[in-house]
Amino acid sequence: MSVGLEAGVHVFFALLSMISAGVAIGLLISNKLDNSKIRKIALLIAILVWLSWFTVIPVYTQEYGVDKGKIKSYPETVAAHAIGMETKEHIFYTGLILATIIPIITYTTDIANDKNARKLLISLLALLVLGGIVLDALGAWISIAAKIAWSMGGG
């Protein structure tokens, strides 16, 4: 089971990206628009989400397999993998794509003057934050399921 710092580093980067997205939404809604600032924040969001993705690779490739075996051993915990992890993987890849698209939008449009581009950007940022919250909840479910399965002696 993942108990070290490596299991939380990707969450840290994800949370920083969600906070950055919230800041960007606030700037876009407040009409204190500065293309340069929005572009920098958008690039920061993409970098943070990609860092989150890269830092989780060791956890999934080296550690989760053991937890997965335990989780799947009991009917009480199997849904955490069957539903939770499968859903989490799809949302995570969607977030990765969104985070990559966000700076492309900011660098190819005039956010300060293009109302439609601004609406699209706000929508994508909100989806990124919402997806991050759902990912955090699913990650908590999987983590608790692993602890329960380990405590039951499964595997």
User: What are the chain's domains?
Assistant: 6-152 (1.20.120)
Candidates 155, 139, 141; CA nearest to 60 is 139
Q: Is the pLDDT of residue 137 over 70?
A: yes
- Classify 64 as helix, strand or coil: helix
Query: Left (φ > 0), alpha (ψ -120 to 50) or beta: where does 89 sit?
Result: alpha
Residue 149 Cα distances to 80, 83, 100, angstroms: 11, 16, 36
Mean pLDDT taken over the chain = 89
Q: Look at residue 107 in the predicted model and tell me its pLDDT.
A: 96
Give the CA distances from residue 52 to residues 7, 10, 14, 27, 145, in Å, rounded to whole numbers and listed in that order: 11, 4, 6, 24, 22
C-alpha span between 10 and 63 (Å, rounded): 14
The pTM (predicted TM-score) of the whole model is: 0.86
pLDDT grade for 4, boundaries at 50, 70 and 90: low
Burial letters for 112-135: b for 16+ Cβ neighbours within 10 Å, e otherwise?
beeeebbebbbebbeebbebbeeb
Give me the pLDDT at residue 2, please. Answer: 46
Mean pLDDT throughout 114-132? Answer: 95
